[in-house]
Amino acid sequence: MGKCKVSSSHLRQAVERRQQGGPHRHNDKIGKGRKEKTIHDNDRDWAYLLQAAGKKGVKDYEENDFFDTMEELATTVGYHRSRFDKYRSAVSNAHSKAVDKKLMTEKDCWTLSKNFSQKYGYIKKRAVTTYLKKKSEMAKVKGAKKYEEDGDPDDGLRGAITEDKGIQLVRHLSEKGLSAYAQGVVIAHGGLIRHGELVKMQHQHFYQEGGQWHVKVIGGKFRSEDHVDHVFLHRCEKAIANVVKKGGFGLLFPDWDPEVIRHEIKQCAKDNGWDTNKKWDFHCLRHGKAVDNRVLWKLPLNVRMERGRWKDEKVERHYSRYR
C-alpha cells in the first residue's frame, strides 16, 4: 500500500503549488504502477468504510464519518497503525476517482486539508496505544514477566540503560556535538526522571541540601501541575554544573527536541549492539538507573522506592529486575 501513500503526497503537493492540470494528472501514472492486489485492497477498504458509516457513495461520505469509524477502531480493536494508513489511502483514492468522474471538486477533497492531517495524526497515536496494549496482553499470556501497572504497555518490552550503557550514550551524543542532550541524559539518569519532567525543568528548580544536589520536579506523570517532587540527583554533579552554575532563569533545555533524543538513543543502541529485541527510548534511562540502584549500588528497597517515587513494591521490582 506504500504507493497509495505516495499518491496522497503528490495530490497534496500539487494542490499547494497550484500546478497546472491539478493533482489528479498523476493518477494514470500511479495507477499503472500499482499492483492488482493494491487496487483490490483499496476498493475493499473503501467499501468497508462506506458500510461502517451507512453511506452509499463518496459525495455522502463525510470527514466525520471517517473519524467516527477510525476513533472506534483506534480505541477498541488494536490494529497496527499501518492498517489506518490503508484506510486513509482508500479515502484519498476514492476522492481522486470522484474528481476524475466530476462527482466532486478538488476543493471538496477534505483528505487534502491540513486540519484533516492533524486530526488523523491524533487518531494514529490512539491506535498505537491500543495496539501496544493488545501486544502486551498477548505477551502476558505467553508467560512474560509482569509489567508496571501504570498504563504503559511498553514497559515490559523496554531495555535498561544502566550506567555502562549510559556512558556509551553520553559519549555518542558528545561526539555528535549534542552536549545539551548528553547533559540531559546524565541528569535524567541520575534522578530517574521521566522525559516529560525533564523538558519542563527550569534552572531555579535545582538546589543543594547537605552537600547533595536535588531538583524540584513539578507535575509529572499522574500528578497535577501544583504537585512537587523533591528528587535526589546521583552522580551528575558535572552535568549540573554545566547547565546550572552558568546562571540563567527559565527552562533548563529550551531547545530540546524529543525526536532528536529518540533517534540518537536508537542509533546508539544499534551502533553498540544492544539487544535488538528490546525497545530503546528515553524511559529506558529510568529502568536502567533502577537496576543500578539494586544491583550496582545495592540500595535497600525503601531507598530505591524513594528514589524512583514509587508507592508499590511490585512497581519498583518491575523496574529493577534483571534484563
CA R_g for the chain: 25
Q: Provide DSSP, 250-286.
A: SBSSTT--HHHHHHHHHHHHHHTT--TTSB-STTHHH
User: pLDDT digit string (tens) for 152-169?
Assistant: 555 657 899 999 999 999
Q: What is the separation, in whole angstroms, between the first and last Cα of the chain?
A: 37
Chain position carrying cell 500539487:
14
Residue 178 has a pLDDT of 95
Instruction: Name which CATH class applies to 155-320.
Output: mainly alpha
Q: Which residues pair with 158 in a beta bridge?
A: 279
8-state DSSP, 202: B
Spans of all domains in the chain: 2-137, 155-320
Residue 223 has a pLDDT of 64
183 close to 193: Cβ distance less than 8 angstroms: no
Residue 224 has a pLDDT of 64
Residue 152 has a pLDDT of 56
The pTM (predicted TM-score) of the whole model is: 0.55
Q: Which residues of the chain have pLDDT under 50?
A: 1-8, 11, 14-27, 29-35, 144-151, 323
Q: Which residues contact 316 (CB under 8 A, 6 or more apart)?
A: 290, 301, 304, 305, 308, 310
Residue 13 has a pLDDT of 52
Q: Which residues contact 63 (CB under 8 A, 6 or more apart)?
A: 110, 116
State how far the Cα of 257 lies from the Cα of 169, in Å rounded to an integer: 16
φ and ψ of 228, to 5 deg = -120, 130
Q: Which helix (H) or strand (E) holds 232?
A: strand 228-232
8-state DSSP, 162: -
315 close to 149: Cβ distance less than 8 angstroms: yes
Residue 24 has a pLDDT of 47
Q: Which residues pair with 215 in a beta bridge?
A: 206, 231
Between the alpha carbon of residue 104 and those of residues 10, 13, 55, 97, 109, the distances in Å are: 19, 19, 16, 9, 8
